[in-house]
Chains A and B, each alone.
Chain A
Amino acid sequence: MGMKNVLASRWGVIGVGAVIGILAPILQKLGNPGNMGICVACFERDIAGSLGLHRADIVQYMRPEIIGFVLGSFAAALIFREFRPRAGSAPIVRFVLGVFAMIGALVFLGCPWRAMLRLAGGDLNAVLGIAGLVFGIWIGTLFLKNGYNLGRSQKTYPSVGLLMPLIAFGFLLLVFIYPQIQGEPASGVLFYSVKGPGSMHAPLLVSLGIGLVVGVLAQQSRFCTMGAIRDLTLFGQTHLLGGLVALVLAAFVTNLVLGQFNPGFTGQPVAHTLHFWNFAGMTLAGLAFALAGGCPGRQLFLSGEGDGDAAVFVIGMVAGAAFAHNFGLASSPAGIGTHGAAAVAIGIIVCLFIGFTMRTKLA
């Protein structure tokens, strides 16, 4: 059977979930925002801000963790001969799903990883978000059971698969060419927050290093939060779920040790207490992740191992973050954005349209 991939075993994925659950609160301790040691959606949103795609001045930072995820996955894929350049499975659909996944996540204020980290930090609003996530994924599995799929990808040129790692590397170069200047809102072409969540971050090299480690581990273990919930509802499988549960438990214990556990609904960092919108935002996000075949983290790791369609989803999420802040769709601790409710409704309609109309018999 060739070389055995230990990390893809049951205990392997549990171990990887636990490592992420320990590292994320440590990143928070070292400077990342509250219950946001790692948040793929929030960090891609910060990257959109650092590039000036939106100009919400409190959420602008070229997050090295995201760069590390892509480059770590790329390195693992090369080392273990799993780099498989492929593309062409309904890219525009994946882009649109990425846009609405991000909008839903920013109505809740977090990706599935952060939903788990918020829970592990005592933020009880996360319960509503996670319930919405499960509900959205469950709707997605109904489509999957009825033949929904985005069609086949094709094997393609190595350069296609290299583009996302090259983009990540280019962004890393930009960080070194235009480093943050204390108290300045910009450095060269990059924007930096001087206050708010975007100004809170662990030291650059620590963030990058942890990002690389998580990238390697997650690529090899196939860790996926959406997949964990989907496989349970679709097949009754608990393989990936082990990793998700391990992440929550490890983060909970680490938060206790670091004095970062504060149970309650109110006064939680980068969170609001509108239960319905926490639920509805994550319903939209969960449905979009299920239709696209991976949580935001997983899409980054796939993009690192050569999946051009996952890369399009990632770019869609970055574009979605720009829309979310330019159009007033994103929530804040004060509540949902001016047009957040409308965006969630439109997003769910678009996802249902995609789910109902993209069905073929494959075998």
Chain B
Amino acid sequence: MSTRIDARGLSCPQPVILTMSKIREMTKGRIEILVDTDTSKENVSRAAKSKGWDVQIVEPDGSGYRIVIQKD
């Protein structure tokens, strides 16, 4: 199961809040998050790792980044 969060244009701490609430909701699976700043990229990755999720992909996407996190 894969879910997508579009956090582009949202300032700190919204991308992390959205990611954390999705992580709480799903407990495991695959989440794709779109962000538009390097700060958000770092914050979302750090938050996911702290909850035991694997940060699998971080790649440039448009003018921002696409992050894929997963937990089995």
Q: Give CA–CA (A227, B16) in the complex, Å.
A: 12
With A2-B58, A237-B50 as given contacts, are A82 and B38 in contact (CB-CB < 8 Å)?
A: yes
With A1-B58, A155-B36, A155-B63 as given contacts, are A144 and B11 in contact (CB-CB < 8 Å)?
A: no
For the complex, count residues of A whose C-beta is within 8 A of B: 31
- Indicate if A293 sits at the interface (CB-CB under 8 A): yes
Question: Restricting to B23-67, which residues have a CB under 8 Å from any CB of A?
Answer: 36-39, 42-43, 46-47, 50, 58, 60, 63
With A5-B38, A86-B36 as given contacts, are A152 and B13 in contact (CB-CB < 8 Å)?
A: no
Q: Give CA–CA (A330, B37) in the complex, Å.
A: 36
Question: Restricting to B1-19, which residues have a CB under 8 Å from any CB of A?
Answer: 5-14, 16-18
Closest residue of chain B to A147 (Cβ to Cβ) is B17
Report the minimum CB–CB distance from A16 to chain B (whole Å).
Answer: 14
Q: Which residues of A contact B43 (CB under 8 A)?
A: 222
- Indicate if A50 sits at the interface (CB-CB under 8 A): no
Q: Is A222's CB under 8 angstroms from B42's CB?
A: yes
Closest residue of chain B to A309 (Cβ to Cβ) is B11
Q: Which residues of A contact B50 (CB under 8 A)?
A: 237
Q: Is B58's CB under 8 angstroms from A235's CB?
A: no
Q: Which residues of B contact A227 (CB under 8 A)?
A: 12-13
Partner of A293, one of B9, B12, B42: B12
Partner of A363, one of B6, B39, B58: B6
For the complex, count residues of B whose C-beta is within 8 A of A: 28
Q: Is B11's CB under 8 angstroms from A153's CB?
A: yes
Q: Is A150's CB under 8 angstroms from B11's CB?
A: yes
Partner of B13, one of A84, A89, A230: A230
Q: Give CA–CA (A154, B18) in the complex, Å.
A: 19
Closest residue of chain A to B57 (Cβ to Cβ) is A1
Closest residue of chain B to A227 (Cβ to Cβ) is B12
Interface of A is mostly: loop
Q: Is A222's CB under 8 angstroms from B39's CB?
A: yes
- Indicate if A239 sits at the interface (CB-CB under 8 A): yes
Report the minimum CB–CB distance from A7 to chain B (whole Å).
Answer: 11
Report the minimum CB–CB distance from A12 to chain B (whole Å).
Answer: 11
Q: Which residues of B contact A144 (CB under 8 A)?
A: 13, 17
Q: Is B63's CB under 8 angstroms from A234's CB?
A: no
Q: Give CA–CA (A205, B16) in the complex, Å.
A: 39
Closest residue of chain B to A307 (Cβ to Cβ) is B11
Q: Which residues of A contact B37 (CB under 8 A)?
A: 82, 84, 86
Q: Is B18's CB under 8 angstroms from A363's CB?
A: yes
- Indicate if B71 sits at the interface (CB-CB under 8 A): no
Partner of B63, one of A1, A84, A235, A362: A84
- Indicate if A32 sits at the interface (CB-CB under 8 A): no
Q: Is B20's CB under 8 angstroms from A86's CB?
A: no
Report the minimum CB–CB distance from A141 to chain B (whole Å).
Answer: 9
Q: Which residues of B contact A235 (CB under 8 A)?
A: 13, 16, 20, 47
Report the minimum CB–CB distance from B23 to chain A (whole Å).
Answer: 11
Report the minimum CB–CB distance from B52 to chain A (whole Å).
Answer: 14
0/1 string, A1-29, CB within 8 A of B gives 1: 11001001000000000000000000000
Q: Which residues of A contact B20 (CB under 8 A)?
A: 235
Q: Which residues of B contact A307 (CB under 8 A)?
A: 11
Q: Which residues of A contact B42 (CB under 8 A)?
A: 5, 8, 222
0/1 string, A278-315, CB within 8 A of B gives 1: 00000000000000011000000000000101000000
Q: Is B63's CB under 8 angstroms from A239's CB?
A: no
Q: Give CA–CA (A230, B18) in the complex, Å.
A: 16
Closest residue of chain A to B12 (Cβ to Cβ) is A293
- Indicate if A254 sits at the interface (CB-CB under 8 A): no
Q: Which residues of B contact A84 (CB under 8 A)?
A: 36-37, 63
Which 4 residue pairs across A and B have the least CB separation, nearest first?
Answer: A152-B9, A153-B9, A293-B11, A82-B38
6 more contacts with CB within 8 A, not counting A89-B9, A293-B12, are A2-B58, A82-B37, A155-B9, A227-B13, A234-B17, A235-B47
